[in-house]
A = this chain, B = another copy of it.
Amino acid sequence: MAEKQKTHRQPKLSRPTTIRDIAAHTGVAVMTVSRVINESGYVSQEMREKVLKAVQELNYHPNGLARGLKRRRTQAIGILVPDIANPFAAELVGGIQEVLSARGYSSFISTSDRSTTREEAGLRALFDHRADGAIVATRETKAGNDFLLGLLNYDLQIVVVGRELNHPRVDRVTADHFKGGYDVTEHLIKMGHRRIAFVGVSAPNGAGLHRYRGYVEALRANGIPFDEKLVVGPKVDAGPGFSTQDDGYEGAKRILSAKSRPTAIFARNDFTAMGAMYAIRDAGLAIPDDIAVAGFDNVPLSAYTAPPLTTVAQRTVLQGREAALLLLDRIDGNRQRERRNICLDCELIVRQSTIKDIARTD
């Protein structure tokens, strides 16, 4: 039976098979089919097999819209990242999807691209399509926070990564950026530096940037006076939100032409650091002999710069996994439990960009 292969050539745009097609094809009730595909309730072995066979043959896949509408669950979650061209986002997403897909959830990524409007549009779309939850790793903004809090009045679970959102039902995962910033600064101090610049945020905007606060604190703890002139933000200061290689180049350039220049630069992230390194070479100075450079994030490329870049690794994949687990726990399990906060250690990765006494091929 079922010589379906007789179709003349390409079937011209079939409508997707529905549960009723399966029911009709097997002669059982729609409900029985539903029970089979959901493995819920009792179905005799015989019927089950018949149904499964038809599901195969007719290539049936449940319509997620109908299912979601009825169940009030879509088994889909949204991931909101600031920016896609970013190893951090990639690893985070990797960790998240690893956990989610194992549990039968699909996930969709949305970017904010540094725009609150875009971020809201992304969240709105997620919400309107009734995602069961969202993992939000965008930078904090007032508008963004308000919007997220608004969504929380409804049945959307949220976990934030690397940022805050003050709400009793929002879990949080982050790396200890403060400690990372502290450690890398202290490393520079141990290497004998006392004029250490921070490139990537302006001092007034730094409060929300933990790695910067770690820098400030490390200076203080080591008795080095804080010098605001050694802190440079991007030309167009996007608040605590962002910093690129261009910003690093431009910021370092400014700081190098200042009266008394630093002997070390701690850049907000590895890309900023790479821009700064370029500015340093541009000025005819050597790294690390004239100026040491450190970054943050340990992006894969940081091992390949000239010289390789000292940086701070955060366990990004793990953050993704943890965030996904927290989210699933709330969705599938206890929606009312107390908020949880996971903070992972960072690791200082010392490379040649801050070490003078290692022989360099250069």
Please report A residues at the B interface, Cβ cutoff 8 Å: 10-11, 13-16, 59, 61-66, 68-69, 74, 76, 78, 83-87, 89-91, 93-94, 97, 101, 106, 108-111, 113, 118, 121-122, 124-125, 127-130, 150, 153-155, 244-246, 249, 271, 274-275, 277-278, 281-282, 284, 300-301, 304-306, 361-362
A281 to B65, CA, bound (A): 56
Copies in the complex: 2
**Residues on the B chain within 8 Å of A118, using CB:** 97, 101
Contact A155 B13 (CB under 8 A): yes
Contact B65 A16 (CB under 8 A): no
Minimum distance in angstroms from A225 CB to a CB of chain B: 32
Q: Could you list 30 examples of A-B contacts with CB < 8 Å?
A: A16-B155, A59-B150, A62-B128, A64-B128, A64-B129, A65-B66, A65-B68, A65-B74, A68-B129, A76-B125, A84-B86, A84-B93, A84-B109, A85-B85, A85-B86, A90-B111, A106-B121, A106-B129, A108-B109, A108-B125, A109-B110, A109-B111, A245-B301, A277-B304, A278-B304, A278-B306, A281-B306, A281-B362, A282-B361, A305-B305
Scoring A108, A111, A113, A245 by chain B CB atoms within 10 A of each residue's CB, the highest score goes to A108
A-B CB proximity, top 3 nearest: A85-B90, A108-B108, A106-B125
Q: Tell me the nearest residue of chain B to A150, going by C-beta.
A: B59
Q: Tell me the nearest residue of chain B to A168, going by C-beta.
A: B10
A139 to B40, CA, bound (A): 38
Contact B84 A14 (CB under 8 A): no
A361 to B285, CA, bound (A): 9
Minimum distance in angstroms from A74 CB to a CB of chain B: 7
Which residue of the partner chain, among B16, B65, B94, B154, contacts A13 with CB atoms under 8 Å?
B154
Minimum distance in angstroms from A158 CB to a CB of chain B: 13
**Residues on the B chain within 8 Å of A127, using CB:** 61
Q: Tell me the nearest residue of chain B to A360, going by C-beta.
A: B281
Minimum distance in angstroms from A169 CB to a CB of chain B: 9
Known: A128-B63, A153-B13, A304-B278. A121 touches B101 (CB 8 A): yes
Scoring A101, A109, A154, A304 by chain B CB atoms within 10 A of each residue's CB, the highest score goes to A304
